[in-house]
Amino acid sequence: MTSITGHSEADAGPSGDMAATGRVGDRVFSALATGSGVFVVSLIGLVAAFLLAQAVPSLMDNKASFLTSREWQVSAGDLRFGIADLLWVTVISSVIAMAIAVPIAIGVALFLTQYAPRRLARPFASLIDLLAAVPSIVYGIWGYFVLRDFVQPVQTFVESALGWFPLFAPLTVSGTIFLASIVLAIMILPIITAISREVFDQTPAAHKEAALALGATRWEMVRTAVLPFGKPGVISASMLGLGRALGETIAVTLLLSVTRGTFSWSAFAGGETFASRIANGSAEFDTPLKTGAYIAAGLVLFVLTFAVNAVARIVIERRKAFSE
């Protein structure tokens, strides 16, 4: 703890923080605050360290190639597991979800900031926020019991029209990646909308008025002033949405049919994402080696979401640097 307080005092000194008097209360308070900050930082480090430490023994024992194998044999003595199919299903389901959610979210955010009557914009916005409040397991059961029957005809149509393309190859699976993607799209829509709305709202009034004064229609004003200004924010929002979609667990677990042993590039196949493989396996966490295999999958998911979130953060930081 001494090093922590030492750090904060060293930090506070040069910035001319004269309010801290150095009395006991001040030192305790500053230590608590700094300690909490350090705790949060170290938490991420601890997550990485613990997951790595428990994944490594299983990875060492792994007879198959972790990155390129599609096997998942963890119950018997010899471990053979790989994440190739998990990576594909995780990425493709999230990318399709993005492709559906981002345009709609931009539309909703534009509606809430530029089109909706001022008085109604707030209640409308909280309506969209309600989508974020619905627990993911409810999305899962709704998708399974209700939405699936409505998605089926769409799938049949796409399969018959574009079935020659590997991504749309027809298969007879009930819980498809496509269905999971639609549900994921609904789940990430409020996240992308909320952040896009915030940046669209910050468009300088002068830009918008200038566009209108030059004779732009409302759409032209949006296209020339609002969208360019908000672009980094929308990219960042989409990345955050992507991060959420990559790690979504229970809805995907309930929706996707587990089809071990078969693999297809089609969006109409079943499969498992990192998260759903872990969730499906959670009942058989008994020996450390077996658990380690699942933890290794979790570690990859952690790295993936870390990278996506870090990129999102950097994009929005750069925007701040430019606009100030």
Partner 1 sequence: MSTVTSSTEPAAAPPVGAGLSGLSRGRSVTNSVMTVVVYGAFLLALVPLAWILWTVLSRGYSLLLDQNWWLTSQRGITPRRVGGGAYHAILGTLVQAAVCALIAVPIAVFTAIYLVEYGRGKLARAVSFMVDILTGIPSIVAALFIYAVWVTTFGLQRVGFAVSLALVMLMIPVVVRSTEEMLKLVPNELREASYALGVPKWKTIARIVIPTALSGIITGVLLGLARVMGETAPLLILGPYSASINTSLVDGPMAALPTMIKDNFGQALQPATDRLWASALTLILLVLLLNGAGRVVARFSAVR
Site residues (CB under 8 A) for partner 1, limited to 195-214: 212-214
Half-sphere exposure of 160 (CA within 13 A, CB side): 5
The nearer residue to partner 1, 70 or 197, going by C-beta atoms, is 197
Which one of the spans 61-69, 75-83, 132-140, 163-171 is the region binding partner 1 (CB under 8 A)? Answer: 132-140
- For residues 96 and 74, what is the distance between their CA atoms, to the nearest angstrom? 30
Decide: helix, strand or coil at residue 30. helix
Strand partners, 73: 80
Please select the residue that binds partner 1; options are 180, 184, 275, 315, rule is CB under 8 A.
275
Please report whether residue 53 would count as binding partner 1 according to CB under 8 A. Answer: yes
Please select the residue that binds partner 1; options are 58, 176, 264, 291, rule is CB under 8 A.
291
Please report whether residue 175 would count as binding partner 1 according to CB under 8 A. Answer: no
Minimum gap (Å) between residue 323 Cβ and partner 1? 18
Which one of the spans 20-28, 68-76, 227-235, 257-265 is the region binding partner 1 (CB under 8 A)? Answer: 20-28
Which one of the spans 75-83, 153-161, 169-177, 284-292 is the region binding partner 1 (CB under 8 A)? Answer: 284-292
The nearer residue to partner 1, 253 or 266, going by C-beta atoms, is 253
The nearer residue to partner 1, 171 or 252, going by C-beta atoms, is 252
Minimum gap (Å) between residue 9 Cβ and partner 1? 10
Residue 46 to residues 30, 41, 58, 284, 301, Cα–Cα distance (Å): 23, 9, 19, 24, 16
Please report whether residue 123 would count as binding partner 1 according to CB under 8 A. Answer: no
- For residues 125 and 216, what is the distance between their CA atoms, to the nearest angstrom? 27
Which pair of tokens denotes residue 158? 């796409």
* Binding residues among 63-102 for partner 1 as defined by CB under 8 A: none
Please select the residue that binds partner 1; options are 58, 176, 264, 305, rule is CB under 8 A.
305
Helix axis angle for 177-201 and 227-247, nearest 10°, is 140
* CB of 151 closer than 8 Å to CB of 179: yes
Please report whether residue 6 would count as binding partner 1 according to CB under 8 A. Answer: no
Q: What is the largest CA-CA distance in the chain?
A: 76
Which one of the spans 63-71, 76-84, 103-111, 261-269 is the region binding partner 1 (CB under 8 A)? Answer: 103-111
Residue 270: partners with Cβ closer than 8 Å, 6 or more residues away: 173, 174, 175, 176, 177, 256, 257, 258, 259
- For residues 130 and 209, what is the distance between their CA atoms, to the nearest angstrom? 32
Please report whether residue 263 would count as binding partner 1 according to CB under 8 A. Answer: no
Which pair of tokens denotes residue 202? 């910050």
- For residues 50 and 288, what is the distance between their CA atoms, to the nearest angstrom? 13
The nearer residue to partner 1, 207 or 218, going by C-beta atoms, is 218
Please report whether residue 151 would count as binding partner 1 according to CB under 8 A. Answer: no
The nearer residue to partner 1, 177 or 300, going by C-beta atoms, is 300
Please report whether residue 124 would count as binding partner 1 according to CB under 8 A. Answer: yes
Which pair of tokens denotes residue 227? 């969208």
